[in-house]
Amino acid sequence: MSSLVETPAHLGESLTPEPGLIDEQLHAAKAASRALATLTTDRKNAALEAIATALESSIDAIVAANADDLERGTSTGLSAGLLDRLRLDDARVRALAAAVRDVIALPDPIGSVVRGSRLPNGIQLSQVRVPFGVVGAIYEARPNVTVDIAALSLKSGNAVVLRGGSAAESSNRVLVQTLQRALEHSGLPRDAVQTIDSHGRAGAAALMRARGLVDVLIPRGSADLIQTVVRESTVPVIETGAGVVHVYLDASADETIAVDIVHNAKVQRPSVCNAVETVLVHRDAAPRLLPPVLDALRASGVVVRGDDRARAIDAALEPATDVDFATEHMALELSVAVVDDLDAALEHIRRYSTQHTESIITSDMANAERFLAEVDSAVVMVNASTRFSDGGEVGFGAEVGISTQQLHARGPMGLPELTSTKWIVRGAGQVRR
């Protein structure tokens, strides 16, 4: 494959794009962004409806292109988790169209007033939301991201330039062509949505260095891909993160709730970033909770590894190492550790977490509130599956990604996270004294 992450450590050194390799596309995107910035909500929603309709009418072509990607991915040894993320079928394409319509139903953030005031001299101030301009996205084996980010970008008045990687190149090509036809049908510039996949990894390198043409860059994918973009980009980056996600079963955890949540968090869709990777169990609850939790996981084909204390309760567990506790498996694999108390659980999470999502299962509300206050992750939960850490689930229609950084956007990113602000000053001849 020619994925961005084949040689992430050397991307900036060995891949110098030819002068002007994608300049024409990027300048076209910048011009399109200026047209989008002043569109009414009705115009944007009409274009999104055209996109949803075009996706539904192009299902056969999209699924056929995706089959080529799946065949190539299988032959090149793509993991089961990445193949699942890559797969598009009739139901998934229809779900993408439904997500676009969910975005239509959301309030348009552009022009909304964040705050404002009137000065004693009569000047009126207001801080309003405005588009970024051009959003770049670099991701791998996730053709759904092509539609999700395009829809959110268009609704928030941004143009988007996509680098979806070689694993999904056929799927992304047909998807972008479908989106561009819908834009043209709506009287909007087709350059508002573009792909640079045909330029390969050199195109990705050029995108990362397109400061002044690209206003923000969002990576989605493996830890290697994300860190490569963060390290090499001169364009401002919103950092999404790999998901080494934890569920902590406190001493007072209800057995039925614990079993259901752990099973759902691992098994419902193991290839995604909000799937649980490590279960921590309070030592007093471990003899009671571990057997039914492990039985449910194994019945669904999950390979479970445990520390010494967990293996003392269930000798069939494979040994867990530090590497296991630090790994986002994206597969039916899970690590288990028995901890002394909430303090020990918090320390384990601080050591291994990627600050994505963590959940506590407990009947002790004091422990629940302490967990919420002390865990420094983008999403922190009580008695809920980590699978709810998702833009669609929290009402964003679709999501740009799950941001694990501390600045601007954190957690699931929707429309407001694709905006900046500017100050509007309205006066009547006032001068500063």
Instruction: Say what the pLDDT of residue 11 is.
Output: 39
- C-alpha to C-alpha distance for 41 and 45, rounded to whole angstroms: 6
If residue 338 lies in a helix (H) or strand (E), which one and from where to where?
A: strand 333-339
* Cα→Cα distances 7→19, 20, 163, 204, 228, Å: 22, 23, 16, 13, 9
- C-alpha to C-alpha distance for 309 and 334, rounded to whole angstroms: 16
Instruction: Say what the pLDDT of residue 1 is.
Output: 33
For the chain, list residues with pLDDT below 50: 1-17, 19
Instruction: Say what the pLDDT of residue 193 is.
Output: 98
128 by Cβ neighbours in 10 Å (0-12 / 13-18 / 19+) ranks as middle
Domain ranges of the chain: 22-240, 245-388
Instruction: Say what the pLDDT of residue 21 is.
Output: 64
If residue 137 lies in a helix (H) or strand (E), which one and from where to where?
A: strand 134-139
Indicate the class that CATH gives domain 22-240: alpha beta
Instruction: Say what the pLDDT of residue 5 is.
Output: 40
Closest CA to 1 of 148, 124, 190, 168: 168
* Cα→Cα distances 431→117, 130, 426, 428, Å: 18, 27, 12, 9
CB 42 within 8 A of CB 188: no
Instruction: Say what the pLDDT of residue 80 is.
Output: 85
Instruction: Say what the pLDDT of residue 221 is.
Output: 77
* Cα→Cα distances 378→83, 269, 289, 330, 408, Å: 27, 20, 27, 19, 12
Instruction: Say what the pLDDT of residue 63 is.
Output: 97
Average pLDDT along the chain = 91
* pLDDT tens, position by position, 47-69: 999 999 999 999 999 999 999 99
Architecture of domain 245-388: 3-Layer(aba) Sandwich (3.40)
Instruction: Say what the pLDDT of residue 397 is.
Output: 73
Closest CA to 33 of 114, 167, 105, 130: 130
- C-alpha to C-alpha distance for 204 and 219, rounded to whole angstroms: 11
**Rounded to 5 degrees, what angle do the CA atoms 96, 411, 47 make?**
35
Closest CA to 398 of 120, 98, 111, 179: 98
Give the global pTM. Answer: 0.82
* Cα→Cα distances 228→9, 194, 428, Å: 7, 22, 50
